[in-house]
Amino acid sequence: EEATRDDLASIIEFVVENMDLTTLVPNPLTTFSCIGGDCTISLTSVTMDDVSVAMTLLNGKIRLVITIDGLAGTLTLFFPCKVALVCDSDPQPLDGTFSASQVTLATDIAMSVVDGQVKVTTSDTDVTISDVAVDIHDSTGLGQAAVTFALSYLQSGLTVALEVVLETLVQTELASAFEGLFASLTFNRELTLPSVVAGEAGNTIVLATETKGVDIAPERLQLRVDAIAYAKTPKRPHDHLGSIKHTGCAPMSSLVWPPPASIQIGLHDDFINELLFAIWEGGTINLSLGPEQSASLVGDFGLQNATINVDALLPPVLNSCGNKGLAPDNAVQIGDLYVDVEADFAGQPTHLTLWLLAAAPIDVKFATDANGVTTAALALGAIDPLWIEVVRNEGALSEDDGAVVDLVKNVLVPQLLATVETSATFTLPSIDLGSLTTAVPAGTVINIDVQSVGRDNAYLTLNGGLK
């Protein structure tokens, strides 16, 4: 049964298990003088019975200890042979085997950020190889002197060569794997929200992060990134200073430790509000619908040949101030939304205009798509409160503002919000182990397994593990 890869140590263990150590060994491994000329030795395969990885968080570094049990492999000795009747070739290859009962590799790993990229350095690397044994058999009998000499040479020579190989493993392959691992947790991608108006271009939102620091301490390892979200093609409907900044309530400090799960992702309210601002700035909320488009979006709801214009004077904002849980205090607020409807109702021309202000609790729902990737979707709860001010009521409903309010509250607004919810689906970063090192098969992906959503001061938190 395949082991569960659900933490950093098990990921590194998986990487080591899949590394082809043969490709890291120089070939020939060594050349030495023997009877009749020069002998060379090459490794042809390397196997491992078991790999275990232990990681200890220290101040500013990680102590990594890799233990390999049952390291073994095959090798070939090439020795000069001038007797054509006995030897098939010159030099003549002789197959052999080698083994080591256990290999222990220990090193300290430090991380820094250079130009937005995590860079890994190693120090205090120590390799211990136990019980090295080599066996080569010469079926011709002609090279036995070379074999006997080679065995005495290889006991120490192979040990030294393996030590060099394993140090190279740490300094190149594992360092690259760590760097790739952290790089996979950042992203620069585009998300297109389809327009609710058929035939119109969608709103492309750019989501990007830049690594700012890696903090390592005995209680945790933390990756800090700056994040930004913005509309690629701004269609800002009104002048506005920009997305709102979190201030005046919960502290702006980093996440509280220890976290409630093995992995915690904190999304700052400022980033979420940048995302909401980008939805508004790119024109997703501002609508101008003709009769067919209106009927397609919200149905006719008694109005024929309706034209609907929705003008959001302000972007929606996330407000978590005073929050003690995810809902209902973690709310999206919509202010100064102007709605203008012209239609025929009961055979009479009808013209309605109104202002709308609303708030709704926001949640995040997670699912796994057909490719096993975790997706997150914003979900809005029941709207409460909802304020509607009727400015114009001409035509069939002119004597009943309450009917207008019910129409908007129970039909128009829920349909509009459902459209926004359907569009606001995002893919969480996944860890493609195949891209970290060629040692891991392509397509080997680990995803973030979100088990709960919470609130930690100014952060919306995703808590879970890896899967």
Q: Which long-range contacts (C-beta less than 8 Å, at least 24 apart) are formed by 329-336?
A: 329/361, 330/361, 330/362, 330/363, 330/455, 330/460, 331/359, 331/360, 331/361, 331/362, 332/276, 332/359, 332/360, 332/362, 332/380, 333/357, 333/358, 333/359, 334/358, 334/359, 336/312
pLDDT tens-digit map of 222-251: 889 999 999 999 998 888 888 888 877 766
pLDDT tens-digit map of 62-105: 999 999 999 999 988 887 877 766 677 888 888 889 999 999 99
d(CA 399, CA 391): 13
Check residue 424 and give its pLDDT: 63
Token pair, residue 73, equals 């492999």
Give the residue-averaged pLDDT of 348-375.
Answer: 82
* Confidence class for position 438, pLDDT limits 50, 70, 90: low
d(CA 68, CA 48): 7
410, pLDDT greater than 50: yes
Token pair, residue 381, equals 């709860």
Check residue 383 and give its pLDDT: 80
Distance of CA 208 to the CA centre of its chain: 12
What the chain holds in terms of domains, given with CATH numbers, is 8-184 (3.15.10), 199-466 (3.15.20.10)
Distance of CA 57 to the CA centre of its chain: 22
Check residue 393 and give its pLDDT: 94
Check residue 422 and give its pLDDT: 62
* Confidence class for position 420, pLDDT limits 50, 70, 90: low
In 3D space, the residue among 250, 240, 214 whose CA is nearest the CA of residue 110 turns out to be: 214
Lowest mean pLDDT among 140-144, 288-292, 343-347: 140-144
Q: Hunting for tokens 């991608």 — which residue is that?
A: 189
Give the residue-averaged pLDDT of 178-194.
Answer: 84
In 3D space, the residue among 58, 152, 41 whose CA is nearest the CA of residue 93 turns out to be: 41
Q: Taking the model in full, what pTM does it have?
A: 0.78
